[in-house]
């Protein structure tokens, strides 16, 4: 058998895995790998401008498709720059493989130039990681890494490859299959538990379905939709779950949580049977567990990761399994037993929910003088027919994007929900565009976040990724300013962005098109132009000067219950308990 170098083996492994793109940045420890990449044509390399962006792009490539993103960085600073991106993917359970260069095996531990203990540094933020010390282990390690990344609860896997391992030679054979005796992720849920869940749903008076990112990653959008339609019950999606049920579906109550809608949050508080699907009762979703449970409810929790179950909230029916499988079986059990919630109770529940819906908690006061950030997102939704892939950064603009863009399908909404990483949006848009070359990709960002990875405008130019950047520029780190307004006596400590650059010129300097929009009347025409066929192949940067005083509502403050929201001005004084005339609630309220 022909002996080939570790670097060549590495590229062959990536080819075997069907990798289309590797996002990376070269350096000393990975020169052999880059040479092997130069000598092959099967996959393309995307040269980013900062390693963090390489990882975000690979991450979004995974998030927006069913493929696995791959990033390649050099040792030392290349590796440490990648860490934020790895943690971002880890918190949102995104499958990804990150290859980091390492100093030669004989130099490890000697504080060599550009040496960092990458396996140690990344350990708490990866699903698993490997240091490959022998070229003969390389192929099997890649096989394992891809398998681990995409199965069970997905997550990033790091492979640290010392330079001599990329030089040394051995025969290449890619393993066809593998078994890892210590790793057997669950698939099917326990039939007895599924039956119990079906029974609970049939007994429910106020059923509610709460869907998280697990349903999106687990490809269970169709099953969620079928379950909701079959039972006619209300449904909410978390920030990570948006798109699992169509945002325009009449049974969809909007996003829930800290900035969830009035109806989604109150339904969460007052439901009596809750089906949690691939969600984890996160602090930004249910706030304080004791408050959440102060109105008793029976909970079914479906998740592929047993450690997500009973972590913050005790549940009545835990079901460990792949959400897609479990929901399919649950739907079958409901159909088979003809199990449905009582129609009268359900009608009553809907009557109550529709009362909660009436005041429209996402209403804001339009203005002729100042651009309302919410209106920009709404217009974007109209102009793109709700079909765009939308990425975001982190802050107020992220919440407005989540609230006002009604996502139609899973994997259409790409944001850093768990880690909350500013600088995610633009490289993510790039990765999503490369995974979906025909899709319209928009990046909703702010003037703070965009500057954390603005250098990627250069990468976008090099690789012709014509994403549309909508910067909601309010001259403030908006979410920080909002908290300072609410909780720190309007002392706006270091949240004002002075000396902002001319973003139009920046966009132009990078070879793109820039627009500055200051007048509400110009929002629609500029968006129409940006998304017109004429500019289909161009990156357009839109600098919207928005109302700096706008806040995100509703808001559940830290420590408060979901029924203690801060509401927008038009809803002040509204009681956040079920209405008197619709008491089907026994002693719950």
Partner 1 sequence: MRHILSVLIENEAGALSRVTGLFSARGYNIDSLTVQTTEDPTLSRMTIVTHGSDDVIEQITKQLNKLIEVVKVIDLNEADHIERELMLIKVRATGKDRDEMKRMADIFRGRIIDVTEKTYTVELTGPGDKLDAFIKAIDATSILETVRTGASGIARGERVLKI
Does residue 51 carry a catalytic annotation?
yes
Q: Which is nearer to partner 1, 141 or 378 (CB)?
A: 141
The answer to whether the CB of 48 falls within 8 A of the CB of 456 is yes
d(CA 307, CA 217): 17
Shortest Cβ 282–partner 1 spacing (Å): 15
Q: Which residues bind partner 1 (CB under 8 A)?
A: 119-120, 123-124, 127-128, 131, 148, 180-183, 305-307, 310-311, 314
Shortest Cβ 562–partner 1 spacing (Å): 22
d(CA 126, CA 128): 5
d(CA 245, CA 210): 10
Instruction: Name which of 500, 458, 511 is nearest 53 in CA terms.
Output: 458
CB neighbour class for 532 (10 Å; exposed up to 12, middle 13-18, buried from 19)? exposed
End-to-end CA distance of the chain, in Å? 75
Token pair, residue 242, equals 């948006």
Three-state SS for 577? coil
The answer to whether the CB of 208 falls within 8 A of the CB of 275 is yes
Does residue 163 carry a catalytic annotation?
yes
Q: Which is nearer to partner 1, 137 or 529 (CB)?
A: 137
The residue annotated as part of the active site, out of 17, 51, 115, 447, is 51
Which residues have C-beta within 8 Å of that of residue 571, sequence separation ≥ 6? 262, 359, 361
The answer to whether the CB of 470 falls within 8 A of the CB of 444 is yes
Q: Which is nearer to partner 1, 138 or 440 (CB)?
A: 138
Which residues have C-beta within 8 Å of that of residue 314, sequence separation ≥ 6? 299
The residue annotated as part of the active site, out of 113, 486, 487, 579, is 113
CA atoms within 13 A on the CB side of 201: 29
Shortest Cβ 132–partner 1 spacing (Å): 11
d(CA 455, CA 449): 12
d(CA 212, CA 92): 10
Q: Which is nearer to partner 1, 148 or 388 (CB)?
A: 148
Shortest Cβ 224–partner 1 spacing (Å): 25
Whose tokens are 């037993």? That residue is: 337
Shortest Cβ 307–partner 1 spacing (Å): 4
CA atoms within 13 A on the CB side of 297: 28
Q: Which is nearer to partner 1, 177 or 182 (CB)?
A: 182
d(CA 378, CA 404): 6
Shortest Cβ 80–partner 1 spacing (Å): 18
The residue annotated as part of the active site, out of 127, 143, 144, 163, is 163
The answer to whether the CB of 410 falls within 8 A of the CB of 216 is yes
CA atoms within 13 A on the CB side of 197: 32
The answer to whether the CB of 87 falls within 8 A of the CB of 97 is no
The answer to whether the CB of 86 falls within 8 A of the CB of 122 is yes
Quick one: DSSP state of residue 132? -
Shortest Cβ 102–partner 1 spacing (Å): 14
Q: Which is nearer to partner 1, 307 or 549 (CB)?
A: 307
Distances (CA, A) of 290 to 106, 293, 295, 528, 561: 54, 5, 9, 48, 9
Q: Which is nearer to partner 1, 171 or 310 (CB)?
A: 310
CB atoms within 10 A of CB 296: 9
Q: Which is nearer to partner 1, 128 or 560 (CB)?
A: 128
d(CA 485, CA 487): 6
Q: Which is nearer to partner 1, 169 or 311 (CB)?
A: 311
The residue annotated as part of the active site, out of 422, 452, 479, 542, is 479
d(CA 225, CA 214): 15
Shortest Cβ 17–partner 1 spacing (Å): 19
Q: Which helix (H) or strand (E) is 268 found in, with range? A: helix 262-270
Shortest Cβ 94–partner 1 spacing (Å): 17
Token pair, residue 97, equals 């493989």
The residue annotated as part of the active site, out of 15, 67, 114, 560, is 114
Shortest Cβ 86–partner 1 spacing (Å): 15
Q: Which is nearer to partner 1, 148 or 552 (CB)?
A: 148
Residues marked as catalytic:
51, 113-114, 163, 479
């Amino acid at each position: 058998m022909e002996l080939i170098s570790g670097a060549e083996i590495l590229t062959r492994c990536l080819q075997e895995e069907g990798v289309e793109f590797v996002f990376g940045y070269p350096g000393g420890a990975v020169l052999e790998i880059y040479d092997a990449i130069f000598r092959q044509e099967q996959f393309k390399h995307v040269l980013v401008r900062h390693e963090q962006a390489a990882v975000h792009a690979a991450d979004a490539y995974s998030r927006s498709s069913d493929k696995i993103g791959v990033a390649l960085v050099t040792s030392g600073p290349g590796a440490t720059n990648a860490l934020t991106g790895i943690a971002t993917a880890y918190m949102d359970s995104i499958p990804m493989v990150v290859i980091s260069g390492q100093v030669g095996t004989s130099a490890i531990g000697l504080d060599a130039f550009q040496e960092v203990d990458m396996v140690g540094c990344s350990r708490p933020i990866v699903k698993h990681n490997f240091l490959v010390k022998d070229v003969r282990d390389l192929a099997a390690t890649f096989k394992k890494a891809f398998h681990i990344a995409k199965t069970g609860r997905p997550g990033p896997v790091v492979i640290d490859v010392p330079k001599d391992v990329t030089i040394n030679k051995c025969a290449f054979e890619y393993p066809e299959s593998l078994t890892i005796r210590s790793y057997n992720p669950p698939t099917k849920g326990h039939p007895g538990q599924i039956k119990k869940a079906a029974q609970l749903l049939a007994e429910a008076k106020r059923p509610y379905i709460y869907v998280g990112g697990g349903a999106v990653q687990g490809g269970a959008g169709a099953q969620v939709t079928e379950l909701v339609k079959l039972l006619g019950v209300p449904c909410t999606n978390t920030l990570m779950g948006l798109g699992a049920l169509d945002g325009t579906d009449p049974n969809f109550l909007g996003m829930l949580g800290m900035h969830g809608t009035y109806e989604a949050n109150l339904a969460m508080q007052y439901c009596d049977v809750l089906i949690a699907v691939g969600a984890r009762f996160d602090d930004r979703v249910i706030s304080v567990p004791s408050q959440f449970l102060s109105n008793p409810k029976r909970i079914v929790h479906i998740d592929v990761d047993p450690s997500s179950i009973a972590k913050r909230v005790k549940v009545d029916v835990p079901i460990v399994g792949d959400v897609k499988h479990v929901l399919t079986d649950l739907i079958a059990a409901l159909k088979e037993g003809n199990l449905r919630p009582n129609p009268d109770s359900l009608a009553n529940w809907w009557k109550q929910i529709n009362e909660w819906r009436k005041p429209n908690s996402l209403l804001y006061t339009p203005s002729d003088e100042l651009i309302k950030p919410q209106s920009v997102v709404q217009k974007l939704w109209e102009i793109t027919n709700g079909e765009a892939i939308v990425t975001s950064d982190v802050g107020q603009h992220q919440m407005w994007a989540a609230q006002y863009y009604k996502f139609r399908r899973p994997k259409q909404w790409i944001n850093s929900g768990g880690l909350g990483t500013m600088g995610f949006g633009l490289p993510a848009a790039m990765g999503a565009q490369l995974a979906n070359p025909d899709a319209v990709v928009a990046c909703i960002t702010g003037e703070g976040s965009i500057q954390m990875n603005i250098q990627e405008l250069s990468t976008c130019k090099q690789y012709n990724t014509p994403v549309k950047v909508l910067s909601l520029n309010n001259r403030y780190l908006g979410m920080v300013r909002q908290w300072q307004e609410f909780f720190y006596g309007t002392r706006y400590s270091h949240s004002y962005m002075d000396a902002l650059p001319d973003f139009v010129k920046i966009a132009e300097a990078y070879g793109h098109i820039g627009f500055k929009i200051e007048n509400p009347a110009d929002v629609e025409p500029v968006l129409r132009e940006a998304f017109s066929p004429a500019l289909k192949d161009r990156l357009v940067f839109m600098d919207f000067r928005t109302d700096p005083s706008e806040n995100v509502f509703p808001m559940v403050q830290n420590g408060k219950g979901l029924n203690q929201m801060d509401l927008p001005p038009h809803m002040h004084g509204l009681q956040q308990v079920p209405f008197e005339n619709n008491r089907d609630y026994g002693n719950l309220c």
